[in-house]
């Protein structure tokens, strides 16, 4: 049965100023746009549905982590993120309460950030041993790139001073080679939190569905997971068969040294693999991004344990990254590589160029993720290689002052996540929130890419603002293209799925500060109300 939806509709297919008043949908896809009179006449007997608000394409999160986020943001983990608890006293009080109530069971907390929660202690193994005693405790840094643990947690995870460092990751050790209570980077963090992830599996069906429904209520109709565990595929396939998925899910397998490409499956429009995720360097908030310039010598950097003029390093050499990534690319998969520092970005582009040349790749759409310190020249080089970028512009919202005053100064910190330079180089750039790291707030992403202004009103001293057309494309048409899904979603046009949202204001004409506060009134997936 055809339905005709009426309202103030912004298709955002080509010209963002285009506005229509009706959209006809049949079998989950858009079949026509036009005036109400035209479509009612063309489809006699169609159901007429009046929408209260402005209608636009469903939003796309091109770099999320819904599976992991559904656990970290659940009742199984103490939420100490700066967006929830802004100060050190609150963090310590929450952890003290959790340990007191644990009754010997392990405590897992997520969101530690000494740059925003000023006054936190150095959470090494000695401090955590004293703090929690025999209760295992693991505290995950807000970036997800490090985790702090006590001796009891190390025993529970089966690690000790003789445990080898995983490839691209490491455990901090003292002068005697004993564990110092810090895990750096994904593989090491994964070992420390393994007991929690294991116990969470029984809750995952309800946790994941609840998290996906939350994303849907925020206007997200397609989300990609860049740390997907294929062991979860049967769960998703079951939910899909039951019609319980409120979003489309695109996923990226995590690369491993010596790993090989999985075979391609069917081109399922709801759930399918897009590519493979790799890492070049780490997080600016813990000092391990690879840059040509040093961190500043400030109270904040000294609090991170960084020596004056500290320069971070990459997780892998270019040759190691090539050896990891090439087998996946040779298998036909898109590559997506985490890279923040300018040296890490140069190295990753070198690897990409070798793979592209060796395998004569054309429409590969290899990705660079986050792109914190990426320069205008690097954006141009990436574009010339057919490499696409997804920027973590929400770093500006929460850490803008930190980037400039505490870590990198006006020259390098001020131009952080320079989305305007990406578009100027010809990129179909996208924006993201990286799972739990910042709240899923796509409209704020668009606004901050335009204004380059933090939540306290500080305007970044460098970088280039984007236009409204570019801002909207960053989480609609461009994101669909980046995920090889432009034939299905990203705009409101005949032939595409009817994934759309109803919002309380015109996304094309409101001021940037008002765009950030957009309220989603309803979310539709394939023409069906899901949020």
pLDDT in tens, 244-301: 999 999 999 999 888 887 887 778 999 999 999 999 999 999 999 999 999 999 999 9
Strands 146-149 and 179-184, bridge-based pairing: antiparallel
First-residue to last-residue Cα distance in the chain:
21
CB atoms within 10 A of CB 216: 22
pTM above 0.85, yes or no: yes
Rounded Cα–Cα distance for residues 254 and 269 (Å) = 21
Rounded Cα–Cα distance for residues 215 and 248 (Å) = 11
pLDDT at 254: 94
Residue 89 has pLDDT above 80, yes or no: yes
Q: Tell me the pLDDT tens digit for each residue of 60-74.
A: 999 999 999 999 999
Structure-token pair, residue 54:
């402005």
Tell the residue number behind the tokens 């055809």, with chain if given.
Answer: 2
Rounded Cα–Cα distance for residues 216 and 237 (Å) = 19
Q: Tell me the pLDDT tens digit for each residue of 459-484.
A: 999 999 999 999 999 999 999 999 99
Equal CATH topology for 1-58+490-531 and 73-200: no
Percentage of the chain with pLDDT > 90?
96
Closest CA to 270 of 242, 239, 249, 246: 249
Class at the top of the CATH hierarchy for domain 73-200: alpha beta
Structure-token pair, residue 320:
């190691």
Rounded Cα–Cα distance for residues 389 and 431 (Å) = 9
Report the pLDDT averaged over residues 441-460. 98
Percentage of the chain with pLDDT > 70?
100
Rounded Cα–Cα distance for residues 441 and 444 (Å) = 5
Residue 317 has pLDDT above 90, yes or no: yes
Consecutive H or E run containing 423? helix 419-424
pLDDT at 356: 98
Give the bridge partners for 4, in sequence order. Answer: 24, 48
Domain boundaries, the chain: 1-58+490-531, 73-200
Grouping H, G, I as helix, E, B as strand and the rest as coil, residue 240 is helix
Q: C-alpha distances in angstroms, 164 versus 156, 159, 168, 171?
A: 17, 9, 12, 8
Residues in the chain: 531
pLDDT band at 168 (very low <50, low <70, confident <90, very high): very high
pLDDT band at 355 (very low <50, low <70, confident <90, very high): very high
pLDDT at 527: 98
Count of CA atoms in the C-beta half-sphere (13 A) of 459: 6
Is the domain defined by 1-58+490-531 classed in CATH 2.30.40.10? yes
């Amino acid at each position: 049965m055809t339905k005709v939806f009426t309202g103030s509709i912004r298709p955002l297919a080509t010209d963002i100023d285009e506005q229509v008043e009706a959209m006809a949908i049949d079998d989950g896809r858009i079949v026509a746009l036009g005036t109400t009179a035209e479509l009612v006449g063309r489809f006699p007997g169609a159901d007429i549905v009046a929408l209260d608000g402005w209608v636009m394409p469903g939003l796309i999160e091109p770099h999320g982590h819904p599976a992991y986020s559904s656990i970290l943001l659940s009742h199984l983990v103490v939420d100490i993120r700066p967006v929830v608890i802004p100060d050190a006293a609150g963090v310590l009080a929450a952890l003290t309460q959790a340990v007191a109530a644990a009754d010997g069971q392990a405590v897992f907390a997520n969101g530690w950030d000494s740059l925003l929660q000023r006054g936190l202690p150095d959470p090494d193994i000695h401090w955590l041993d004293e703090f929690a005693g025999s209760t295992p405790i693991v505290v995950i840094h807000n970036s997800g790139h490090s985790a702090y643990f006590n001796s009891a947690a190390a025993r529970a995870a089966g690690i000790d001073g003789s445990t080898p460092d995983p490839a691209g990751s490491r455990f901090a050790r003292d002068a005697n080679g004993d564990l110092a209570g810090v895990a750096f980077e994904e593989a090491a963090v994964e070992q420390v939190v393994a007991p929690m992830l294991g116990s969470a599996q029984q809750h995952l069906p309800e946790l994941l569905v609840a998290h996906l429904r939350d994303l849907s209520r925020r206007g997200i109709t397609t989300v990609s997971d860049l740390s997907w565990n294929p062991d979860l595929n049967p769960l998703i396939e079951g939910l899909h068969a039951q019609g319980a998925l409120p979003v489309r899910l695109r996923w990226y397998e995590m690369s491993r040294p010596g790993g090989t490409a999985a075979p391609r499956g069917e081109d399922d429009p709801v759930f399918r693999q897009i590519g493979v995720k790799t890492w070049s360097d780490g997080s600016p908030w813990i000092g391990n991004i690879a840059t040509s310039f040093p961190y500043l010598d400030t109270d904040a950097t000294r609090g991170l344990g960084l020596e004056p003029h500290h320069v971070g390093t990459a997780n892998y050499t270019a040759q190691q990254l090539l050896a990891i990534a090439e087998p996946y690319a040779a298998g036909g998969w898109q590559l997506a590589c985490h890279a923040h520092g300018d040296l890490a970005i140069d190295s990753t582009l070198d690897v990409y160029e070798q793979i592209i040349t060796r395998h004569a790749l054309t429409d590969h759409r290899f990705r660079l993720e986050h792109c914190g310190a990426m320069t205008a020249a690097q954006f141009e080089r990436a574009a010339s290689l057919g490499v696409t970028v997804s920027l973590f512009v929400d770093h500006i919202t929460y850490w803008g002052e930190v980037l400039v005053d505490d870590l990198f100064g006006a020259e390098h910190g001020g131009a952080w996540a320079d989305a305007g330079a990406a578009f100027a180089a010809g990129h179909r750039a996208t924006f993201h929130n990286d799972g739990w790291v910042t709240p899923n707030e796509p409209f704020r992403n668009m606004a901050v890419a335009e204004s380059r202004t933090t939540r306290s009103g500080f305007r970044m001293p460098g970088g280039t603002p984007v236009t409204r057309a570019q801002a909207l494309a960053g989480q609609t048409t461009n994101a669909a293209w980046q995920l090889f899904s432009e034939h299905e979603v990203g705009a409101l046009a005949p032939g595409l799925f009817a994934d759309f949202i109803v919002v309380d204001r015109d996304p094309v004409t409101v001021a940037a500060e008002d765009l950030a506060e957009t309220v989603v009134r309803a979310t539709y997936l394939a023409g069906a109300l899901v949020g």
